[in-house]
Structure 1
Amino acid sequence: MAQGYINDRTTDYHSLKSRLMGIGISPQHSDHFDVLNRHLRHRLVSLGQLVIVPDAYSLSCSLE
């Protein structure tokens, strides 16, 4: 199951992704994060925007 995260400060998309998903995530998990967060502009994520953070199992569930 994915988790919701309310962004607490304006930040760039890639920094936020690294902070929430960690450094060195697999390409599949990185792509999954991008798909779930298409509603975010990929340059700047504003204060208060909802970010969807997939967990380790959601990738396999999504594929099924």
Structure 2
Amino acid sequence: MSIPSKLLINSKELKEVLGISKSTAYRYLRQYPDFPKPIKLSQNKTLWNAPKIVEWLENNFQADN
């Protein structure tokens, strides 16, 4: 997985850019205390640090290649 060009992405872009859904990201937040926390800008606007999520996914879910 390559690091996206944008540092912060919205919930819709999680699926497009990183291949995980918003519900999966929130499940990871509950299950894994070290999963990168979202940045809540307002009640309806949440952003995610894409490079940190990519790094976390690579460290925790490495493919068996």
Q: TM-score, with normalisation over the residues of structure 2?
A: 0.35
Q: TM-score, with normalisation over the residues of structure 1?
A: 0.35
Select the structure with the greater relative contact order (CA < 8 A; seq sep ≥ 6). 1
